[in-house]
Amino acid sequence: MATTNDLKNGMVLKLDSGQLWSVVEFQHVKPGKGGAFVRTKLKNVLSGKVVDKTFNAGTKVETATVDRRDMQFSYKDGEYFVFMDMETYDQLHVDPAVVGDAANYLLEGFEATVAIHEGNPLFVELPAAVELTVAHTEPGLQGDRSTGGTKPATLETDFEIQVPLFITTGEKIKVDTRSGDYLGRVSG
């Protein structure tokens, strides 16, 4: 148990009959009149739904013990993603629904943080940016500015993003894992 005064970003709370909610942001508010309260933005760990919730200051909230482990993506076993714990070498089969959009950026050997609660994987967090190779993109046509200077490119993970016209097939690029945005070329 904790109180709303102990909230931190990333903390996972057990609310509404055992549902797990991750604290995205919080703000302590002390109005001129009335009691202080805490305004929060919470994300449902399983569904990804984000809600705003207000608590009275000092309200007791149940926290969930979430074990965040650094793991390496090994391979796909059928539809499951297999991650290996970097310390124990244990393998963990993670459901595609849990992996979510992270699947668009996962390659064998990539490291990720897997959050686990009571033995069940909750979500997979990737670094903010990853380096991937462009598997295919059409050559950029000179003078084609109708698309704002971007064109579709398929990455080696089979995910398609928009890239600048000068990017060619086989180039290694940096991609933002939260938005899918092109961040730049990788030199070397």
Q: Which domains does the chain have, with CATH numbers?
A: 2-63 (2.30.30.30), 67-125 (2.40.50.140), 129-185 (2.40.50.140)
Write down the pLDDT at residue 148: 67
pTM over 0.85: no
CA angle 176, 179, 181 (to 5 degrees): 55
Residues in the chain where the model's pLDDT stays below 50 = none
Q: How far is CA 27 from CA 7, 24, 37, 42, 80, in A?
A: 9, 11, 9, 12, 38
Write down the pLDDT at residue 33: 87
HEC string of 64-86?
CCCEEEEEEEEEEECCEEEEEEC
Write down the pLDDT at residue 145: 58
Write down the pLDDT at residue 144: 56
Write down the pLDDT at residue 147: 53
Q: Which two three-digit tokens encode residue 165?
A: 């016209």
CA distance 60 to 58: 6
Write down the pLDDT at residue 188: 64
